[in-house]
Amino acid sequence: VSPAFTTVAEADAFLDELRLAITPPLHQFSLQKCAFRDARTTLLFVRLVERMRRALAAEYGLRLATITPLQCFVSCFVGAQDKQGGLHSDEATHREFHYSAVLYLSTQGVDFEGGGFAFNDAAPEPGGARVLSPLAPSKGAAVLFSSGWENYHEVEPLLDGTRFALPGFFGTRPAVHAEPADDA
């Protein structure tokens, strides 16, 4: 978990651009939908996705050339939602998803109620019950994790307000061309 993955000002600037580039109702706003509408929004979107890609590469010791964004979008839920993510692993949903990242663009308890994120962690003792480890989303924070069953997780139903997030799903592949040894 990175509590200050972006600044609040950067998250607000991206949200301001999104509000100009999109038309409600918005549930999933992808880079493809934004690419031909507004260059500034597109550049901010790409910048945030690239930051996630670089953070995942650094966190997991991967060469930057081997990690590729496969699906990234802005998720917006407004008002009470009966269902959100349910318990799942991202790789079980799409086998090519090896790493996941979620950048929060709004804050639980300020912009929305409910809608929390929780890992379903293994039992501390053999045969014991699994343990939910909740994370209260806050603007500018991000969570980065491998997408397999080791990171079984859920998003709680939204109770009220507007919840914005930028989830990204990344795959790995062999580096096919020579690159400098220093990914910086």
Q: Which residues are catalytic?
A: 163
86-6-84 Cα angle (round to 5): 10
CA distance linking residue 134 with residue 182, whole number of Å:
36
- Please list, in sequence order, all residues whose beta carbon lies within 8 angstroms of the beta carbon of residue 32, skipping any fewer than 6 positions away: none
- Write out the two tokens for 169: 């799903």
For residue 158, the surrounding DSSP H or E stretch is strand 158-172
How many Å is the maximal CA-CA distance in the chain?
53
* Contact between 88 and 50 (Cβ < 8 Å): no
Neighbour-count burial for 114-149, b at 16+ CB within 10 Å, e otherwise: bbbbbbbeeeeeeeeeeeeeebebbbbbbbbbbbbe
Chain-centroid distance of CA 138 in Å reads: 12
